[in-house]
Structures are given as C-alpha cells and as structure tokens.
Structure 1
Amino acid sequence: MFMGIQGGVGTLPLAVAEAVRARGGEILTGTPVTELSHSAADGGGWRVVAGERVLRADAVVLAVPAAAAARLLRTQSPGAAAELGGVEYASMALVTFAYRRAEAGLPEGSGFLVPPVDGRTIKASTFASQKWGWIADEHPDLVVLRTSVGRYGETEILQRDDSELVAVSRHDLEAATGLDATPVATRVTRWDDGLPQYPVGHHARVARIREHVAKLPGLAVCGAQYDGVGIPACIASAYAAVDQIHGDLRGVQELTAHPVQSLHGGAGE
C-alpha cells in the first residue's frame, strides 16, 4: 500500500547531494544567502551573495521556504515577495519510540489519524515497524512507532520540553491502543514552520507568484509551498522549475548565438 526508501526518506537528500557532487556541482552548507540580484551590470545574469562569497549564475532555482523566498525577492520582484509573505506555516514535532517487541502489542495496520474533535494532543501515529518492512528486518526484537504533535495555530504544546511531549504521547497512545509498556528509547524531532498551509485561494496565489517570477529571466521557484508538501509534489515542482529555466536559457542562446555558462563555469545549459 505504501512506497518508501530502504533506510528511510532521510537517505534521499544525501543521495541527491552525492549525485550533484559527482556531476561537478558544489554544495555550500552553513552559508545563508543574503542577496539575490539581477541587472545589466552583472551581464544580464544573477548575483548571489552567500556568506562571504559572491556567485554569478545564468539561472537560479529558488527552493527555499516562503519567508526566505520573500526576503530574497523583495527588491527584484515586490509582487512575488508580497504574495510569498502571505503563506502561513504550521509547526510540528515527531516523537519516536522503540519498544521491546514482546511487550508491545499493537493493532493491525500502519497507524491511525486523530481528528481534532477527539481532543487528544497527538494528531497521528505511525506504526513504523508495521509500515516499513526494512525497519522490522533491521530491528526484529523491537517495535518502532512515532506520534506527531502540533496542528496549525497550536503553539502552546510545542513550547513544552521533550520529556513532556514523550509523556503526553505515551498517554494518548495508551488511550488509543492500550499500549502501556515502557519504551527502551525515545527521540523528539521538531520541525518549526515545517508545513505550509493551503487555504482557499492558494492555487490563485501560486499562479500570481509564478506570473511575477516569470518576468525575471533565468529565475524559477519550487518547493512545498507551491503545489504540495509531499515528496512527489516537491519533485514535480523542481522539474517544472528546471524546465522553465532551460526554456529561458535556450532563448538567450538563440539571441546571442553563444553558449551559456553555468554557475561552475562549464559550457552548456
């Protein structure tokens, strides 16, 4: 019923990074971008200030959360920045538990969702060992599951420390499934402003953002705040962004009859 990645989805960005480096790309980490500009003075290309470095590029794909995108586009595209500034986010925390299999009897299935009307603090639970076979294979003596905490507009619960989130999750799990065993390990992972919200009118907002951005040659946007938070939606958004800038660069090549130089200095698109 579900498709995943052996070892977990956390291996996906690592594989992408490895593929980028294998093709000669450079990845800068711990280096916030503070400026993005485009002008004739820069040869019609883009100037990116990242930490202490100034990078020149023929094209830029802006794949950052809405607030960061709004900040970087404020000068070049005030209209897009204003629209991006209106995108709201929800924060959440994931609480992961490991139990001894002999002590953890769980219902069949891959987990459950909790509607707000139930009045529980957790909003969902995933029985990871039952959902993903590789977890059960790697840890046959353990049962791994997780809960998620935090809905849109809920901030108080996420201000609690990790031990409190573990305690409230255990309470709600016992109420829902009867699980009262003591976990052998727990981990709390917090995602501040991790989930963009899609209210009525979101599609129209995204269309306006892309209309504004399309006026800037060699610039495209992608990410969870546009077409969906899931990995497939984000990948599709990235493909669309790359297709757009490829079209922009082909247009430049046809006008200049010269190869377009990439960020790292090689010829081609």
Structure 2
Amino acid sequence: MPWHAHLSLDYHHRTGRTAAHFTHDGPLRVLRSLYPEGPTICHHVLVHPPGGLVGGDTLDIQVHAGAGAHALVTTPGATRFYRSEGEPALQRTRLRLDAGARLEWLPLEAIAYNGCLARNQLELDLAPGAELLAWDITALGLPHAEAPWLRGEFLQHMEWPGRWLERGLIRADDGPLLDGPLGLAGQRCLGSLVFACGSPLSRARREQVQEATHALLASHPQGPWCGVTSPNDHVLVLRGLAPLVEPLMQLWQQVWALWRRLLWEREAPLPRIWSM
C-alpha cells in the first residue's frame, strides 16, 4: 500500500526567538527544535522513517516562515526514489515566506534508483523582504555500488510563479542528454543552489556574490563543471555537475557558507547531522 505523508511546519518570531509548530500525518516529522546559533535561528532535522519512496508514495511538505522568523531545515540522509512498477513517486515541497522572514532549505541529496519513476517538486512563495537559501542535489544511480541508472525517469520541477521556473525531465534511455556534451556529459550528479529574495536585489549586491562565487569555483576541482547566474533581480542560481554526490555536496556547503556571510553577514556552522 502506498505511503501518503504530510508535514506542515510553521515558524514565528516573538521577543527575539524563532519558535515552531508542526503537524503531520503519516511517517514524516521533525526532531526537536535546536538553537546552535542562539534563539533567533531555529534548526530542524526532517525525518522520514521509511527511508525512501516507491510507486504511488507521496511526501507533501509545507513550510511557512512568519514575519521576522529565521529557520534552517535539513535531513539526516538522502531521499531515495526506489523502483516503481506503475505509478510515480512524488515529493512535493512548498515554501512560503512572509515579509522579513529567512529560510534555509538544505536537504541532503535525492537518489534515483534504477527503475524509479520520480517526481520532485519545489514551489516558492516569497513576500517582499523575505529571503530564501535553498538547494537541490540529485544523484542518478549508485556508482559506488555498481548500480547504474539504466531504466526509469526523474522529473525535477522548481518554481516561483511569475519569477523563476526550472523544469527538466531526465529519462534513463536518453543517451544524448545523459552523455552528450550539451547535456550531462556523463556526469551522474546534478545540483542547484538558489538565493531568492522577495524584494529586488541591487546590482551591486548581485555582482558581489557572483564575483566571490566565481573566485571560489576557480579554486575548487569541481568548479569547471559549475556556473552561477542571475536570471532576474530576485534570484541567484548556482548550477553544477559531478560524477558523484560527495564533491558537489562539499562544494555546495562551501558556497552556502560564502553566500550566508555575504548576504546575511552570518557565519555558517555546519549542522551536526551532516557529520554523522
């Protein structure tokens, strides 16, 4: 029987503290609130005890950050899309930020297992003054385990209506896309890191971040496979490819820390769960 799980996270800011309330239905929840940076930033680890999705499963995640709140949400491990015999598996995440809110959406990677039919959707809604740092990393198959991705499809959809849209369908039998020089060029891990702002970013602020990111990429072995752009004055996007998850995740953590310092003047202590 398919799993249908729902989690709703609501953050609010009062008297110098970000607090959270959540409701859930099915095997999807968060662990206790953590404050490693002090009371203004609430950290949560989102857990899905079954550990993966098969055909017909749905994970529905809604996160709301109220005015002035600041939250960071991550996961303890990868989201696994297993082999499906008929219906696709769906993970749908909706992030809504009120004026002046900040949210960091930093889940670990999604893995497409051989034979999966996967749908991974991220939807954004930002009020003026709200700011979001979010990433998405996808691995196609398990190269270390000699389990390549030979069958199935993975649909990635990321959207901020009226501001930004990226949608891509990858099929395991699409050789030109997977291996061609204008596609993934044989790489099997792809990622995006996004900074979205409800109010327009100044040109000076965007250029500062882009120049610093270019310098970091130039010094990293995976840098030639990555690029940062600003499709409009509300969005910065870093995209990259790698043969495996590890080099891209390590680079994404470095860029996240850089953007956090430049955009918010905050250091970026790594969540402890990433080291476990």
TM-score, normalization: structure 1? 0.27
| Bigger radius of gyration among the two | 1
The structure showing larger relative contact order (alpha-carbon pairs under 8 Å, at least 6 residues apart) is 1
Greater strand fraction, Structure 1 or Structure 2: 2
TM-score, normalization: structure 2? 0.27
Greater helix fraction, Structure 1 or Structure 2: 1
